[in-house]
């Protein structure tokens, strides 16, 4: 093989690697954005709403037992 062939293979490998790194970067950025508050549609906002509802249900149950 000549130098030109080695360079072609190196460029192909670097292109594939760069695409893989770019895809991983996009996925991490996308998933991390779900962990920030954004006004109601993120996973974190939904979990906070569920926690507050569970707390309210717990208080109602505790009041019912004390009567």
Residue 45: name the closest of 54, 36, 55 by CA: 36
Residues 27, 48 share a domain = no
Residues 8-41 pLDDT 10s: 999 999 999 999 999 999 999 988 887 777 777 7
Residues 28, 9 share a domain = yes
Which residue did the predictor score with more confidence, 9 or 65?
9
**Is the pLDDT assigned to residue 66 strictly greater than 70?**
no
The domain in which residue 25 lies consists of 1-33
Answer whether 38's CB lies under 8 Å from 45's CB: yes
The model's confidence at residue 43, banded by pLDDT at 50, 70 and 90, is confident
pLDDT of the residue at 23 = 97
pLDDT of the residue at 2 = 94
Residues 15, 1 share a domain = yes
Residues 42, 27 share a domain = no
């Amino acid at each position: 093989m000549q130098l030109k062939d080695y360079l072609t293979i190196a460029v192909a490998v670097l292109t594939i690697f760069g695409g893989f790194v770019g895809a991983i970067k996009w996925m991490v950025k996308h998933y991390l954005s779900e962990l920030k508050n954004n006004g109601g549609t993120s996973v974190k906002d939904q979990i906070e709403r569920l926690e507050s509802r569970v707390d309210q249900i717990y208080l109602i149950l505790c009041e019912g037992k004390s009567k």
